[in-house]
Structure 1
Amino acid sequence: MLFSLTAQTNAQKGMEGTLMTTIDLSIVIITLNEEHNLPRLLADLTLQTWQNFEIIHVDSASTDNTVRLSQRHAKNFEHYRIVQMEKRGVSLGRNTGATQAKGRRILFLDADTRLPPNFLAESMWELEYRSLDIGIVLKSSYRLPAKQVIGYELMNLGITLSRRFFPTAVGACLFSTPQTHEAIGGFDEKLKLCEDCNYVLKAQKTGRFSGQIIKPRFMFNPRRLNQDGILRTGWTYLKANLLRFFKGELYKNEVPYEFGHYSNT
């Protein structure tokens, strides 16, 4: 069960029928207790040089001030909706947001993602120029400590090398289209890990993806590396994808993973 809170400007309220049909991009942001990270991402979005987007914030029953802060920031955007879910889940949240998307394209974001001001402009141009349905985005290691740079670049290398025969992706920043999302059945809500990799693999099998990685990169809070350690984090995802490659998707919790277990700073 979920309910939606809609935050709109006066201009949008008076012209909703016209404006909402011209949206090029629907940005779906999922959260679980992200009161520290969500405002930073929203601040990045206000600074984008390209602004023809809507924001659909899907919250998974946060117990902190995430939703309250989202409502406060909503006034900075022309198209902004908040959807509150009673049930938690990464795939559930993304799928819920996608069902409400009115844009020609969808960008799935996690709250701990950071975007440079030209990210949307460059990404949308490349997606349109190359006529891509799916756009994989790599992580930027700019200004990170050496150990984290190595960790991120190894992840990027793995995504790059496997993109043609067994594609993987980072769901924290992933482009798609409503048509592709519907055709592949969205994110598999039975998966707790590698649901993003499964998403692009399904797209490849249906002929909607052939390994395209776009040039812009996104910044990602290194809290996961800090909390779990670089080696442990790397081994978790390497093991998971090796199991997926040889035995199929991880429906039996073969690699235990808890949604939202990372610190929120």
Structure 2
Amino acid sequence: MLILLPILAIICAPALWLVLGRPRFLAKVGSDEEATIKVSVVIPARDEEINIGALLDSLNAQTRPAHEVIVVDDGSSDRTAEIAREKGARVISGKELPDGWNGKPWACTQGAEAATGDWYLFLDADTRLAPDALSKLVGAAWRNGGAVSVCPHHQVEQPYEELSVFFNVMMLAGVNAFGFCEEEACALFGQCLLISAEDYELVGGHESVKGKVLENFYLADQLSRCGVARECYVGLRAVWMRMFPEGFDQLYSSWMKGFAAGAGHAAARAIVFSSIWLTGAMLAMVGLFIAPFVGVTCAALCVTTYLLYVGQCLWVFRLAGSFSQWNAWLFPISLLFYQWTFFSALRAHKQGRKVKWKGREVG
């Protein structure tokens, strides 16, 4: 009966290709009409002194300059605003958070109200752009119409950041935009989102998702209802992010926040296929552990199945970020951390506990 473990794992393996088998990347295709587009960059920032300077440096180095760069200082207690001004950004001091609003939608709303461009590019403060990224984003928006979003490539610099890998992979899969069974109504990535001022106002802007933490999913729903197209891209070589420079606690709290906020809002098909693949990976892990204690045939199949998942991890981890090869070979470590965080968030939700993020509670 134990031979069923690797067999089931092999059956589950193709699920990865069904959700991530057709990734799209930003490409440079210019036109004279694109040059007339004025892009206002809006950056919501709360205690981002570690990140904000690098992002603004990357914006200042663009081959296609932005019309303006607006940093909304969301009650920072550090040097975020000072650094932003030093880098040439227009800094807006965020107003007090109203009842019923979450911090990021409120900051984005204030930034959009101050913007004078005809397109808005919303960027998280921990993102970075390659010199031609803005040009590529505008080109994609011009070709496809509607909103364009990019999942930034996760830049890993410290060993503890390797634990983030399955979260990043599931973030890619969760938008339902890169699979062979792709739905037309894909979601959006909130870290890098380009949208016309006209479409933004049509859906009611971030005010329409004011109480949401994973506002990108809900904003995608609003755009879908209004018939606005959405396009998603993988950020490899164009847009990247350094998510957790402050340590393991920041990493853990961030992903707890994502689960607590209802990551299950992802498309049902994406959740099903992602869950099937994760189940297969768990079975492959168990199969490797039992391999020394079973017959030769079963052991060989268990090891082969594990290597199959290592191969998949080598490919998909590279798609999500600069994760090391040893992370793929030892994928059970990151996978168990992912599962632990998931069930911890589920338990916290059932107990009515809230997660703290940058001094604010997230439920």
Match of 1:223 among 218, 240, 244: 244
CA distance in 1, matches of 2:210, 2:353: 14
CA distance in 2, matches of 1:255, 1:207: 37
Normalized per residue, which structure has more helix? 2
Q: CA deviation at 1:90?
A: 0.8
**Where do residues 52-131 of structure 1 align in structure 2 (5 Å cutoff)?**
52-74=66-88, 80-88=89-97, 89-130=103-144
Q: CA deviation at 1:46?
A: 1.4
Normalized per residue, which structure has more strand? 1
CA distance in 1, matches of 2:359, 2:186: 26
Q: Quick one: which amino acid aligns to residue 220 of structure 1?
A: M
Query: Counterpart of 1:177?
Result: 196
> Root-mean-square deviation (CA), in Å?
3.3
Match of 2:215 among 172, 188, 195: 195
Q: CA deviation at 1:84?
A: 0.6
CA distance in 2, matches of 1:124, 1:182: 19
**8 Å Cα contact 2:106/2:210 also seen in 1:** no
User: Structure 1's 43 and 165: CA in aligned 2 closer, same or farther, altered over 3 A?
Assistant: same
Q: CA deviation at 1:143?
A: 5.3
CA distance in 2, matches of 1:97, 1:28: 6
1:133 aligns with 2:146: yes
CA distance in 1, matches of 2:155, 2:84: 27
Q: Quick one: which amino acid aligns to residue 260 of structure 1?
A: K
User: Structure 1's 259 and 102: CA in aligned 2 closer, same or farther, altered over 3 A?
Assistant: farther
1:31 aligns with 2:129: no
**8 Å Cα contact 2:175/2:266 also seen in 1:** no
SS, match of residue 107 in structure 2:
helix
User: Structure 1's 172 and 260: CA in aligned 2 closer, same or farther, altered over 3 A?
Assistant: farther
Q: Deviations over 1:56-115 (max 9, x none)?
A: 1111121211111122111xxxxx422112314211110111112222211101111111
Query: Counterpart of 1:260?
Result: 358
Query: Counterpart of 1:160?
Result: 176
CA distance in 1, matches of 2:124, 2:115: 16
Q: Deviations over 1:145-195 (max 9, x none)?
A: 654344322211221359736543232211111111111111135414111
Unaligned regions of 5+ residues in structure 2, if any?
Answer: 1-35, 98-102, 269-348
User: Structure 1's 189 and 230: CA in aligned 2 closer, same or farther, altered over 3 A?
Assistant: same
TM-score (norm 2): 0.55
CA distance in 2, matches of 1:204, 1:54: 28
CA distance in 2, matches of 1:50, 1:146: 33
User: Structure 1's 219 and 255: CA in aligned 2 closer, same or farther, altered over 3 A?
Assistant: farther
Match of 1:207 among 219, 222, 227: 227
TM-score (norm 1): 0.73
Larger Rg: 2
SS, match of residue 90 in structure 1:
helix
User: Structure 1's 96 and 259: CA in aligned 2 closer, same or farther, altered over 3 A?
Assistant: farther
**8 Å Cα contact 1:90/1:259 also seen in 2:** no
